[in-house]
């Protein structure tokens, strides 16, 4: 029976009740435009972005992104994951302020929690990429899967990632990075989150596309070759040392699906 299995942890997220323009005004202090040094660094960073990420972006869209990046002007028509990354948050407090601000809807917060560490890879050449994404993992995603919900007058809305889809994306990206000797990626910080999400990965379709065993086999092969180094080696070694823990977590999902079949 499903009652024999542990339920996921739950926690409530309480966003601010404010309009988008109010939120932008409250966040304006993050753009330190009164500092010549800050402005010079922002100009230099934008040059890198315009040449490496937005070199083929249509001019009107590129100018809109530049205005948000440099001055915090309203990010109209900018994908939410883009504006989130380009916001100059520097601390737990400023990241939480951004995440719970009126700049984001509940759908936006769910999208950020689900996809941010995967979609932000296009910004990997930026010198603040690791700092931004590490702060995100440590502050918002955490090291344990839980159901994060928001409540309004008419409904309860879950904003946490769909566990099966998140695990699918983790394995897909991890296979790519281990295969291609990528020195660092924020998913390297997420092994605990993976293990705690696997028992709740119960979507049959996404589960069937989750290449967990392929990832573990690849890790075994690459470690045996002895060619991995640095933080990629640390990531692969931790996956290998926790292989039985990972497989046990995956098997709990199998047991739950079997129990659900019996009850249906």
Residues in contact with 84: Cβ distance below 8 Å, sequence separation at least 6, in sequence order: 98, 104, 112, 116
State pLDDT tens for residues 182-211: 999 999 999 999 999 999 999 999 999 999
- The answer to which of 56-60, 113-117, 235-239, 246-250 has the lowest mean pLDDT is 56-60
**Average pLDDT of 81-101?**
96
Tokens at residue 102, please? Answer: 């009126």
Q: Residue 93's pLDDT is what?
A: 97
CA distance linking residue 24 with residue 208, whole number of Å: 42
Residues in contact with 66: Cβ distance below 8 Å, sequence separation at least 6, in sequence order: 46, 50
Among the listed residues 18, 29, 82, 33, the one whose alpha carbon sits nearest the alpha carbon of residue 53: 82
Q: Residue 17's pLDDT is what?
A: 85
State pLDDT tens for residues 140-167: 999 999 999 999 877 899 999 999 999 9
- Is the pLDDT at 3 greater than 60? The verdict is no
Calculate the average pLDDT of the chain.
Answer: 94
**Average pLDDT of 52-70?**
94
State pLDDT tens for residues 108-124: 999 999 999 999 999 99
- Is the pLDDT at 95 greater than 70? The verdict is yes
Tokens at residue 153, please? Answer: 């007058």
Residues in contact with 196: Cβ distance below 8 Å, sequence separation at least 6, in sequence order: 143, 144, 145, 249
Q: In the chain, where are the structural domains located? A: 12-158, 162-263
Q: Residue 262's pLDDT is what?
A: 83
CB atoms within 10 A of CB 47: 10
């Amino acid at each position: 029976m499903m009652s024999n299995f542990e339920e996921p942890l739950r926690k409530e997220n309480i966003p601010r009740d404010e309009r988008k323009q109010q939120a932008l005004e409250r966040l304006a202090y993050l753009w330190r435009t009164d500092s010549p040094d800050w402005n010079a660094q922002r100009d230099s960073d934008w040059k890198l972005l315009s040449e490496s990420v937005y070199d083929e972006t249509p001019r009107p869209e590129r100018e809109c992104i530049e205005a948000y990046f440099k001055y915090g002007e309203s990010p109209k028509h900018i994908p939410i994951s883009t504006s989130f990354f380009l916001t100059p948050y520097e601390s737990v407090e400023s990241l939480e302020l951004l995440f719970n601000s009126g700049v984001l809807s509940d759908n936006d917060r769910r999208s950020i929690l689900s996809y941010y560490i995967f979609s932000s890879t296009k910004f990997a050449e930026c010198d603040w990429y690791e700092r931004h994404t590490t702060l995100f993992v440590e502050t918002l995603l955490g090291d344990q899967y839980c159901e994060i919900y928001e409540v309004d007058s008419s409904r309860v809305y879950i904003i946490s990632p769909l566990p099966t889809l998140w695990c699918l994306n983790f394995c897909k990206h991890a296979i790519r990075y281990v295969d291609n000797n990528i020195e660092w990626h924020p998913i390297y910080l997420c092994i605990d989150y993976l293990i705690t999400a696997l028992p709740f990965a119960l979507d049959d379709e996404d589960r069937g596309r989750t290449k967990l065993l392929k990832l573990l086999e690849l890790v075994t092969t690459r470690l045996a070759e002895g060619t991995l180094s640095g933080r990629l080696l640390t990531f692969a070694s931790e996956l290998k040392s926790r292989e039985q823990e990972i497989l046990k977590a995956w098997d709990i999902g199998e047991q739950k699906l079997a129990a659900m079949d019996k009850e249906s």
